[in-house]
Amino acid sequence: MTRPGNNSLVGLPLAARRLVPAPTTLLLAFFALLAFHAAPLHAATVKVSGFGLFGNAELRSSLRLLEIEEGELDSQKIDDGAFLLLTRLTQNGYLDAKLTATYQKSDGTEETATWTSPFEPQIPEGVVAEKLHYTIQEGTLYYYNSVTIDGLVSIDPEEAKNYIIPDTSLYSRKKDRSYSQNILANHQKQLAAALAALGRTDAKVTPLSVDIDKSTGAVDVALQVDEGPLYKITQAEVHYLKEDALLESKEIDPGANYTRAWVEDQVRAIRNEAYSHGYPDTKVSSRILKATPEEGTVSVHILFEVRRGPKITLSGVEHKGATDTHLPLLDRKADLTTGTPLDITKAEAARRRLSRLGIFERIDLSYQDDGPGQRKAVFDYKNGERIKAQLLLGYGSYEQFRAGLLAQRDNLFGRAHSLSFSAIRSIKSASGNLNYTVPELLGESIDGTFEINFLNRQELYFDREERGVTMGLFRRLPELKTDIGLDYAFERKEARNPKFEGEDTDDFQEANIGSLSLRATRSNIDDILYPKSGYEISGVVRYADESLGGETSFLKPEISFAYHKQLGSRWLFHFGARAAQITFSEGTLSEIPPNEFFLVGGENSVRGYRRGEAAPLAENGNPTRVEAYSLVNLELEYPILDRLNLVLFADAARIWESAEASELYETLSSVGLGFRYNTIVGPVRLEYGHNVDPRPEDPRGTVHLSIGFPF
């Protein structure tokens, strides 16, 4: 599934070139971008040294919290900066750290000051400096060498150690296990909170011993846990009150462990039930009536008191501020019935549905009294931008310089329709797209789209030209986190100058293709631009046939899967898998242009190759078309600087010249490393892929510069 950003200029696939002895242009461009984002626009007056290249940069970045370079660099700021740096060092386990500042005053003289922990201000009042240089003397790094925990029953001791020493899984640095008294105290609180969440409300975690080797910094900690009794709910009552008089009561099933989360869940359920019956002012409180100690447990009798307030009827729905939007559309989307009990959970759900129209910057919901026992719901809208336009510039290692225009008009005819247009031109390609979207074309959640597309691109082994129209229906299933769609496309596809085996470079292939595509995507990833956890699975089955208005027939299923997980406290693991195949009747190969076959290789595929370069080769070394492929990508990512990560990756693809001959295939693989810098449009990626076992015609490796997550 193509991610947002990959359709914009910066996110278009950037095909890579063969590795040359000195890819200086790419390196300079990448690090220039880092410098632009990481450094202030004015010359730096504050320096930090003595903590390593990346450590200095991180500490230097933390000083921005103080806005230390804004205005005069006075004594207060110099002391505050020292305090912040010393605190960061202590938090990272450098308990004996010293900090020296050399500052230059306006008369050119230089002074020095030194701070240690515990901190005391050192700069005389009235000092104003023009330049400031902090020098770190980090001293010994104190770190957890071993942790033993006695007295645990409810949590496995080895699992509990993860609250003290983060599980870094693949590699554990001393810095990841840094120790200080504050760090240890926080870890004790985390372990006690974990036990309380299991019903051990009185759990206490205390240190038995803390042995510190000051020569090495190794710290051996022994903790004693007193879990205390298990708190169990033996009786839970709900009293509905009016002016402290009991109206009715009910019981909640006992047996659960008493925890804060359990209490909050019950309060929420009681409140929502009252809301559904038209009591929007409901207040719920809880208190323990009795806690009876028994053998190893405490029996808890808990009372929930509910004051529902007056019953309210929804008298009307008002829309304010949506001056250019069709009012019946808003009423239909809100779907609130007047004259019924006011359920504020339904009203809030209506606000969310209205927000999904995508044409409002903000929607506020309030209620106004409208007579005794009557209130109306008032939706107050702040309109979003109706016309958006953006010029785009970029550079890719294959397409070279590119420029484009993106434009969008929202809320056409006041019915939340949108029209978007994009045009992009590079040295190697030109493309355009016009998209018209109609929300709720069929029912509440089925949207309709109409697209006109154009593409002219010089691929590695042929030149393609495509133009066509697409009409589709799409539906979101929020409860399943799934999107499904069905579309019909009629396209004209042409291919010139093919370099495939058995085809003359003067050959010209063209075909009108009519097709139906069924699509589905399920995703729970945390960030669509730069995922760090979750998974996404998507598939599409495309069927082309003469009965659909085209001149050729084929079936083209594709499926992809991506999985992301954090390993320990710093490592990120990414796994991607894709597979696709095109099948067609015997003897119809010549009727299908190369545009419909697969291009394997590139920055989002096997990164030792350029886009389309990972193709089967005939005996004479000429490439052949790819009728089927499977691809696996593995990545390990490690942060080395604020927003800058190091990536180790391995890619492998199995490619088939003929989908029918499943036993005849080639396997191509590459390994490599790269850097990723996180931006608002996704990660900027500079990567080098080295081919593990290249064929004589293959490059040894390829450098890629691109934007957007690879899978």
Average pLDDT over residues 357-369: 95
Q: What is the pLDDT at residue 515? A: 97
The residue with tokens 């990567």 is: 687
Q: What is the pLDDT at residue 21? A: 35
Is pLDDT above 50 for 4? no
Helix (H) or strand (E) holding 511: strand 508-523
- pLDDT tens column, 107-133: 889 999 999 988 889 999 989 999 999
Q: What is the pLDDT at residue 9? A: 44
Give the sheet arrangement for strand 218-226, strand by strand.
143-150, 218-226, 204-212
Q: How far apart are CA 523 and CA 534, in angstroms?
A: 8
Q: What is the mean pLDDT of the chain?
A: 88
pLDDT band at residue 167 under the 50/70/90 scheme = low
Average pLDDT over residues 569-596: 91
Q: What is the pLDDT at residue 616? A: 93
Cβ atoms 311, 340 nearer than 8 A = no
Q: How far apart are CA 456 and CA 683, in angstroms?
A: 27
CA-closest candidate to residue 634, choices 662, 663, 669: 669
Q: What is the pLDDT at residue 170? A: 53
- pLDDT tens column, 673-690: 999 998 877 888 999 999
How many C-beta atoms surround the C-beta of residue 294 within 10 A?
Answer: 11
Burial code (b: 16+ CB inside 10 Å, e: under 16) for 581-598 equals bbebeeeeeebbbbbbbb
Domains within the chain, CATH numbers bracketed: 46-137 (no CATH), 143-226 (3.10.20.310), 230-307 (3.10.20), 531-707 (2.40.160.50)
**Alpha helices, DSSP H only, in 148-259?**
157-160, 181-196
How many CA atoms lie within 13 Å of 695's alpha carbon, on the beta-carbon side?
17
CA 73 vs CA 10, 45, 77, 104, 115: distances in Å:
39, 9, 6, 10, 18
Is pLDDT above 80 for 74? yes
* Distance, first Cα to last Cα, the chain: 8
In this structure, the dihedral spanned by the alpha carbons of residues 63, 64, 67 and 73, taken in order and rounded to 10 degrees, is 40
- pLDDT tens column, 206-259: 999 999 999 999 999 999 999 999 999 999 999 999 988 999 999 999 999 999
Is pLDDT above 50 for 597? yes
Beta pairing class for 143-150 and 218-226: parallel
How long a stretch of residues is the chain? 711
Q: What is the pLDDT at residue 642? A: 74
- pLDDT tens column, 283-313: 999 999 999 998 889 999 999 999 999 999 9
Q: How far apart are CA 363 and CA 348, in angstroms?
A: 11
Average pLDDT over residues 529-543: 95
Q: What is the pLDDT at residue 2? A: 37
Q: What is the pLDDT at residue 369? A: 95
- pLDDT tens column, 457-473: 999 999 999 999 999 99
The residue with tokens 């004479």 is: 620
Helix (H) or strand (E) holding 3: none
CA-closest candidate to residue 306, choices 240, 251, 245: 240
Q: What is the pLDDT at residue 25? A: 44
Is pLDDT above 90 for 508? no
- Region of 289 (left: φ > 0; alpha: ψ -120 to 50; beta: rest) is alpha
Is pLDDT above 80 for 628? yes
Q: What is the pLDDT at residue 20? A: 34
Lowest mean pLDDT among 56-70, 155-169, 361-375: 155-169
CA 423 vs CA 342, 364, 404, 521: distances in Å:
49, 36, 5, 27
Amino acid letter at 329? Answer: L
Cβ atoms 257, 234 nearer than 8 A = no
pLDDT band at residue 169 under the 50/70/90 scheme = low
How many C-beta atoms surround the C-beta of residue 321 within 10 A?
Answer: 14
Average pLDDT over residues 554-558: 97
Is pLDDT above 50 for 11? no
Lowest mean pLDDT among 410-414, 499-503, 520-524: 499-503
Helix (H) or strand (E) holding 694: none
Cβ atoms 355, 365 nearer than 8 A = no
Lowest mean pLDDT among 167-176, 230-239, 431-440, 618-627: 167-176
CA 182 vs CA 93, 95, 210, 495: distances in Å:
10, 11, 13, 67
Residue 518 pairs in a beta bridge with 486, 541
Average pLDDT over residues 631-654: 93
Cβ atoms 568, 162 nearer than 8 A = no
Q: How far apart are CA 169 and CA 163, in angstroms?
A: 14
- Residue 173, judged by CB atoms within 10 A of its CB (0-12, 13-18, 19+), counts as exposed
Q: How much of the chain, in percent, has pLDDT values that exceed 90? A: 69
Q: How far apart are CA 9 and CA 390, in angstroms?
A: 11
Phi/psi of residue 262, nearest 5 degrees: -65, -45
CA 693 vs CA 145, 621, 668: distances in Å:
42, 16, 7
Q: How far apart are CA 694 and CA 699, in angstroms?
A: 7
Q: What is the pLDDT at residue 69? A: 76
Which 3 state secondary structure label does DSSP give 530? coil
Angle between helices 344-355 and 260-276 (to 10 degrees): 90
Q: How far apart are CA 300 and CA 291, in angstroms?
A: 5
Is pLDDT above 50 for 17? no
Expressed in percent and rounded to 5, the helix, strand and coil fractions of the chain are 15, 45, 35
CA-closest candidate to residue 127, choices 152, 110, 149, 151: 110
Tokens at 526, concatenated: 């945390």
Output 67 or 272, whichever has higher pLDDT.
Answer: 272
- pLDDT tens column, 329-362: 999 999 999 999 999 999 999 999 899 888 999 9
Q: What is the pLDDT at residue 415? A: 92
How many C-beta atoms surround the C-beta of residue 472 within 10 A?
Answer: 18
pLDDT band at residue 396 under the 50/70/90 scheme = low
Q: How far apart are CA 252 and CA 147, in angstroms?
A: 42
CA-closest candidate to residue 426, choices 29, 33, 25, 9: 9
Is pLDDT above 50 for 15? no
Amino acid letter at 273? Answer: E
Q: What is the pLDDT at residue 402? A: 79
Q: How far apart are CA 53 and CA 56, in angstroms?
A: 5
Output 508 or 270, whichever has higher pLDDT.
Answer: 270
Residue 140 pairs in a beta bridge with none
- Residue 328, judged by CB atoms within 10 A of its CB (0-12, 13-18, 19+), counts as exposed
Kindly report the three-state secondary structure assignment for every residue of 450-463. Answer: EEEEEEEEECCCCE
Tokens at 392, concatenated: 């785009």
Q: What is the pTM (predicted TM-score) of this model?
A: 0.72
Q: How far apart are CA 108 and CA 104, in angstroms?
A: 6
How many CA atoms lie within 13 Å of 267's alpha carbon, on the beta-carbon side?
13
The residue with tokens 């085996």 is: 501
How many C-beta atoms surround the C-beta of residue 296 within 10 A?
Answer: 10
Q: How far apart are CA 8 and CA 688, in angstroms?
A: 23
Which 3 state secondary structure label does DSSP give 689? strand
Residue 489 pairs in a beta bridge with 470, 515
Q: What is the pLDDT at residue 70? A: 80
pLDDT band at residue 37 under the 50/70/90 scheme = very low
CA-closest candidate to residue 623, choices 607, 592, 590, 601: 601
Amino acid letter at 157? Answer: P
Average pLDDT over residues 136-165: 90
